[in-house]
Amino acid sequence: MLAAAALGLTVQPPLAWLAGHHGLDVVLAVLVLATALTIEPGALRGLGARWRRLLAALAAGITVLPALSWAASRLVAPGPLRDGVMVTGLAPSEIACVATTVMAGGAAAVAAGLLIGSAAVTVAAAGPILALEAGHGAVRPAGIVTGLALVVAVPLAAGIWLRARVPLIASAERAATATATAAVAALVALTAAEVHLRARYLAVALALAVFLAGTVLAGRLLGIGLPRQPATALLLAASMRDFAVAAALAAAAFGPPAAAPLGLYGILALAWGTGAAGVLRARQAAGPAVPGAAPSPPGGRR
């Protein structure tokens, strides 16, 4: 991630050109498709028992988090950087949240369910909400919805369908994972290419840190009363928003320069997610974890 960011900062002209000519959209579609190919057909079984909490998490993701990112963006001066921060809360759960949930010993099915559900909600609602938040007519909700459908919904549905219907796909999971990792690095480089380091980025970093802290709190609250594994999944899926979708959304709504803050957010979110996963895994080995979560039943049953 850091190497990709450094590449984007040092090789800016060609990467910025790519970002301004649908490069973000193409790489994001590849990332979503590759990630969807790694979701096992049976991964979502057993979510019925958690449907109320899942709905609460999806509702918070499209109401509370957009309001939080809008409030955090007020710390940044008006312009593309503020617009980029404002968009962050409209993104779905980070695609990497499933992997970090597994690392933390959480319920991967819950994280996968939130990933898919939040992607669908974002495609449907991000455009109208962003038009309302932006407060001006330059934002075209219909165009945003169409763009998100093409680069998020279609590749996600195609990948899940292919994994379920084509037996050979399962044997290519390692290649799909490697492709997804490369796509994440490419997206970081493309968004970093829009960054022109100035003192005003200190305000951007502060705003993103405030937003991240708010999403962590939201994830903790959503997991109250749940066993450790689903509570861990809710914490990570709620607190890690997808910087790549946010970057594509910002670029579509406000132009490529608005995507600049999202590379920084991606680094912050992934650093938080992997760090938290390691701490939670260690706590799980030592005893009860995730404050407010009920202990797991004997034998790990849910």
Residue 299 lies in a domain: no
Q: What is the pLDDT of residues 115-160, one digit of tens each?
A: 889 998 998 888 888 888 876 555 666 777 787 788 888 888 898 8
Q: What is the pLDDT of residues 69-111, one digit of tens each?
A: 999 999 999 999 999 999 999 999 988 888 788 888 888 888 8
Residue 301 lies in a domain: no
Mean pLDDT value of segment 51-79: 94
Residue 68 lies in a domain: yes
Q: What is the pLDDT of residue 7?
A: 73
Q: What is the pLDDT of residue 288?
A: 55
Looking at every residue in the chain, the average pLDDT score rounds to 83
Percent of the chain topping pLDDT 70: 86
Residue 298 lies in a domain: no
Q: What is the pLDDT of residues 151-210, one digit of tens each?
A: 888 888 898 889 888 887 877 888 888 888 888 788 778 777 766 667 788 999 999 999
Residue 239 lies in a domain: yes
Residue 292 lies in a domain: no
Mean pLDDT value of segment 264-272: 87
Q: What is the CATH number of the domain that holds 64?
A: 1.20.1530.20
Residue 286 lies in a domain: no
**What is the spatial distance between Cα 132 and Cα 136, in angstroms, rounded to a whole number?**
8
Number of folded domains that form the chain? 1
Residue 255 lies in domain? 2-281
Residue 296 lies in a domain: no
Question: Which token pair is 288?
Answer: 């009860």
Q: What is the pLDDT of residue 64?
A: 96
Q: What is the pLDDT of residue 138?
A: 58
